[in-house]
């Protein structure tokens, strides 16, 4: 089975969020970048498990400049066989999808796995857009994924229910919590990652369909109103009469 996993390079979950250039650009100064957790913990690890059980290859693809390479090496250290970096600065989610689809289109991947969203743009767009551009079926927000006899079976949480779906390969799946457990790369993996193939391809032209023109931070919270524990019932009263939320 040939598996392609989309790997996004994102600020660490604890990174300070600030903007420069009159609030038009994310300020990455001093920020540690990581593999997007959904891509790493769920998509990549499940891809590796499927490969280990059934044979095949796991290739990762990242759209971005050379700064993303340490993140790509991390994915290789966790166990991917090889990696592709599309060398361009994507303008929006659509641009990322166009770059991924342009690379994947004639490579015969059986399974394309994406995280359910990135923790910086949170768009949930790239997976379904890649599916559309490759004219492939798409299973969104899968929490379990198995493949047998050329057919994928997945579970999804839908409106509080669990749905079991089936789809013949090839297809695109977006991966959410439940699908796999995080894997910490070991020393051997980290050493091996240094020499695994990382192919750099140039991007294709893509029209920009949307842009984030300005960012803002939420207004600071008002001071918390404390209620003594022995009068805890007062909280319910205040939520009703003052906050008016119950």
Ligand X SMILES: Cc1cc2nc3c(=O)[nH]c(=O)nc-3n(C[C@H](O)[C@H](O)[C@H](O)COP(=O)(O)OP(=O)(O)OC[C@H]3O[C@@H](n4cnc5c(N)ncnc54)[C@H](O)[C@@H]3O)c2cc1C
Q: Which of 73, 124, 145, 193 binds other proteins (CB under 8 A)?
A: 124
Q: Which of 31, 102, 119, 192 binds other proteins (CB under 8 A)?
A: 119
Looking at beta carbons only, is 38 or 193 nearer to other proteins? 38
Q: Which two tokens stand for residue 32?
A: 């540690």
Taking the complex as a whole, the smallest distance from the CB of residue 37 to ligand X amounts, in Å, to 5
Taking the complex as a whole, the smallest distance from the CB of residue 71 to ligand X amounts, in Å, to 14
Is residue 26 within a helix (H) or strand (E), and if so which, with residue range?
A: strand 25-26
Total residues interacting with other proteins, rule: CB under 8 A: 82
140 binding other proteins? (CB under 8 A): yes
Location of structure tokens 């240094």: 194
* Contact by Cβ (8 Å): 111, 100: no
185 binding ligand X? (CB under 6 A): no
**Whole-angstrom Cα distance, residue 164 to residue 115?**
19
109 binding other proteins? (CB under 8 A): no
By CB under 6 A, the residues from 24 to 53 that bind ligand X are 37
Location of structure tokens 């166009």: 98
Triad 7, 42, 44: Cα angle to 5°: 45
Q: Which of 5, 131, 145, 180 binds other proteins (CB under 8 A)?
A: 131
Long-range contacts of 95-99 (CB under 8 A, 24+ apart): 95/63, 95/206, 95/208, 96/63, 96/126, 96/129, 97/125, 97/126, 97/129, 97/130, 97/132, 97/133, 98/129, 98/133, 98/204, 98/206, 99/63, 99/203, 99/204, 99/206
Looking at beta carbons only, is 13 or 202 nearer to ligand X? 13
13 binding ligand X? (CB under 6 A): yes
Non-local CB neighbours of 74 within 8 Å, separated by 6+ positions: 34, 35, 40, 185, 193
Looking at beta carbons only, is 130 or 193 nearer to other proteins? 130
Residue 222 interacts, among ligand X, other proteins, none and using kind-specific CB cut-offs from 5 to 8 Å, with other proteins
Most distant CA pair in the chain: distance in Å? 67
Q: Which of 53, 66, 67, 235 binds other proteins (CB under 8 A)?
A: 235
Residue 27 interacts, among ligand X, other proteins, none and using kind-specific CB cut-offs from 5 to 8 Å, with none
Total residues interacting with ligand X, rule: CB under 6 A: 2
159 binding other proteins? (CB under 8 A): yes
92 binding other proteins? (CB under 8 A): yes
**Which residues form the interface with ligand X (CB under 6 A)?**
13, 37
């Amino acid at each position: 089975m040939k598996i392609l996993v989309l790997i996004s390079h994102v600020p660490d979950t604890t990174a300070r969020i600030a903007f420069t250039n009159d609030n038009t650009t994310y300020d990455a100064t001093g920020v540690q970048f990581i593999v997007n957790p959904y891509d790493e913990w769920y998509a990549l690890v499940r891809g590796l498990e499927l490969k280990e059980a059934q044979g095949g290859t796991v290739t990762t693809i990242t759209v971005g400049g050379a700064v993303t390479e340490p993140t790509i090496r991390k994915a290789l250290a966790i166990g991917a066989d090889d990696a592709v970096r599309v060398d361009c600065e994507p303008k929006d989610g659509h641009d990322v999808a166009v770059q991924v689809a342009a690379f994947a289109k004639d490579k015969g991947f059986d399974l394309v796995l994406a995280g359910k969203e990135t923790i910086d743009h949170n768009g949930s767009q790239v997976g379904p857009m890649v599916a559309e551009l490759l004219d492939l079926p798409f299973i969104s927000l899968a929490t379990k994924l198995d493949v047998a006899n050329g057919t994928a079976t997945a579970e999804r949480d839908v409106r509080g229910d669990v749905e079991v779906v089936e789809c013949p390969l090839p297809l695109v799946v977006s991966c959410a919590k439940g699908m796999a457990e995080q894997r910490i790369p070991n020393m051997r993996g980290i050493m091996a990652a240094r020499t695994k193939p990382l192919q750099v391809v140039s991007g294709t032209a893509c029209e920009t369909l949307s842009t984030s023109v300005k960012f803002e931070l939420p207004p600071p919270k008002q001071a918390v109103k404390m209620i003594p524990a022995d009068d805890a019932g007062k909280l319910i009263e205040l939520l009703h009469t003052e906050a008016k939320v119950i």
